[in-house]
Structure 1
Amino acid sequence: MRNIKMTIEYDGGRYQGWQRLGHSDKTIQGKIEHILTQLTGTETEIIGSGRTDAGTHARGQVANFKTNSDMDLNAMQEILINNLPQDIIVKKLEDVHDRFHSRYNATSKQYSYYVWNQTIPSAFERGYSFHYAEELDLDKMREACDKLVGKHDFIGFSALKKSKKSTVRTLDSITIEQEGSLIHFTFKGKSFLHKMVRVLTGTLLEIGSGNLSIDSIDEVFETGVRSKAGLTVPAQGLFLDEVTYD
């Protein structure tokens, strides 16, 4: 049996997220599995490196699936591209060793978040960024990033209320770059809690606009209380850029 690794790009704007849902066919996983099942002639399940929320995009989502099909990978990729919706693209297919698991073997992930920082919204950027009109102090935001980077319990910067599993994560880096009115946040780490990137971005925006102090970060880490952090920015500005493996 083959184990095939997929690298996938998608515009999540009209989907209810990555994970297959029994009551809806509007998921990335469900769309790909449907075509693979038809293509291979057997029920096929794909395993993603992680879930992305409704509206979130990906440049480099990774998944894998097992199959007895001996179809050439180039032919398989062409069939997938031609039969999937145009907002889901299988960029690459690779045969990998039997024990490869797209989620468990991932060593790091990179996410981007985009903010349109101008009084007037953009008609073109609105599906791929969050409009935030308040003036921002980027130096203060970068200073706040230094407090967030490292190993911490990030439950207060997530959508989780309680968890039996550890909510300690290591954030390797955060960078903030500006090009005109567009601000680009980049987050790198091995794994992230539910909506963690979106809450961290919202917190940095509120610090940059003066609605929160930098010290509020310490308070969130100490208490784990979500309400002490910033807003949860909407999904359309979030991209899963890449998943890294050893």
Structure 2
Amino acid sequence: MNYRLTLQYDGSRYDGWQRQGNTEKTIQGKIEETLTRLLGETVEIDGAGRTDAGVHALGQSANFHTDRKLDPEKLKAELNTYLPEDIGVVRVEEVPERFHSRLNALGKTYRYRVATGEGKNVFERKQIYPLNQPLDVEAMRLGAALLVGEKDFRGFSSMKKTKKSTVRRLESVKIRELPGEVEFDFTGNGFLYNMVRILTGTLLEIGMGKREPESIGKVFQKNDRNLAGFTAPARGLMLVEVFYPKNS
């Protein structure tokens, strides 16, 4: 049997999603440990993406296999009882045997939140980047328009040299201006290492008047990370949703 979990988590106190040998503080590790204890068998889960240390998720997806027939609602309740309070299971569902959370994903939406007001955001301080200065939203939208499409995003990534393709399709970049806050939503078919955080940092530099919107074109021309903006801190980033074909 193959089961998919839809998950939420606050990544503030974890060393990222991926299980690691040198730390027990990973999201994947905590979920596998709890499932193994509940089912009485060794369980390994496959996630849709490897969020970094400090990054959050509103709609992460993962799946695991077992020989047992499980009651999805009962398993969800048990997981939410025994998982740490900063990891939650939104849904458990049986899926086709060949379903894989990462390989079958069509795309993802990430959200980055930036505080632009002067006040101190005490209760959401771990989910928002405290830039605390006004931004030129229209200028950022001009820059964002230059990011949309199928392009080589090597210059907007912290990846070291790789033989794998760095071409990705960014379907949309939506920028919302809220009271004391600006939100960036990035939807695409895939994202490179630190890509969303670097895209955000580049747009923020445009919003602060430190670069022109047209400078984004030069990053694509040269594929040079040094021409892009700073890497925005992990705390403001959240995986919102993973998209799959309707029959999966």
TM over 0.5: yes
Counterpart residue number, 1:26? 25
**CA–CA distance in 1 between the matches of 2:85 and 2:238?**
18
Q: Which residue of structure 2 lines up, in the alignment, with residue 199 of structure 1?
A: 198
The one-character-per-residue Cα deviations of 1:216-239 (angstroms, maximum 9, x if unpaired) are 211111111111111101111111
Match of 1:225 in 2: 224
Structure 2, unmatched stretches of 5+, are none
Aligned AA (1:70): K
Shift of 1:63: 0.4
SS at match of 2:145: helix
User: 2:49 matched to 1:50?
Assistant: yes
Q: C-alpha displacement at 1:133, in angstroms?
A: 3.0
8 A contact 1:154–1:221 mirrored in 2: yes
Distance in 1 of aligned mates of 2:120 and 2:234: 17
Q: 1:214 deviation in Å?
A: 1.6
> 1:155, 1:106 → 2: CA distance?
21
Match of 2:174 in 1: 175
User: What is the aligned partner in structure 1 of residue 104 from structure 2?
Assistant: 105
Shift of 1:70: 2.2
> More displaced, 178-187 or 210-219?
210-219
Fraction of identical pairs, as percent: 49
Q: CA deviation at 1:104?
A: 0.7
Gap runs ≥5 in structure 1: none
The equivalences for 1:146-185 within 5 A come to 146-185=145-184
The separation in 1 between residues aligned to 2:130 and 2:70, in whole angstroms, is: 45
> Contact between 1:158 and 1:226, CA under 8 Å: does it hold in 2?
yes
2:6 aligned counterpart, secondary structure: strand
Read off the aligned partner of 2:212 and give its amino acid letter.
S
The code of the aligned residue for 1:102 comes to S
Which deviates the most, 229-238 or 128-137? 128-137
Tell me the distance in 2 between the aligned counterparts of 1:54 and 1:85: 17
SS at match of 2:146: helix
Per-residue deviation, residues 91-115 of structure 1 (Å, max 9, x unmatched) = 1110011111100100110011000
Aligned to 1:241: 240
Deviates more, 1:114-123 or 1:23-32: 114-123
Amino acid at match of 2:236: G
- Equivalent pair of 1:37/1:44 in contact (CA under 8 Å): yes
The TM-score normalised by the length of structure 2 is: 0.96
Deviation at 1:245, TM superposition (A): 0.5
Specify the code of the residue in structure 2 equivalent to 1:11.
D
Cα distance in 1 for partners of 2:51, 2:11 equals 9
After TM superposition, give the deviation of residue 132 of structure 1 in Å. 1.3
Could you tell me how far 1:119 is from its partner in structure 2? 3.4
Matched residues in 2 for 1:35 and 1:122: separation?
Answer: 33
Q: How many residues of Structure 1 are paired with residues of Structure 2 in the alignment?
A: 245
Map Cα deviations across residues 176-206 of structure 1 (whole Å, 9 max, x no partner): 1111111111000111001101000000000
Hey, what's the Cα distance between the residues in 2 that align with 1:129 and 1:116? 6
Describe the SS at the equivalent of 1:13: helix
Query: 2:163 corresponds to which letter in structure 1?
Result: K
What's 1:130 paired with? Answer: 129
Q: Is 1:117 matched up with 2:108?
A: no
Determine if contact 1:117/1:133 at 8 Å carries over to the other structure.
yes
Q: What residue number does 2:9 align with?
A: 10
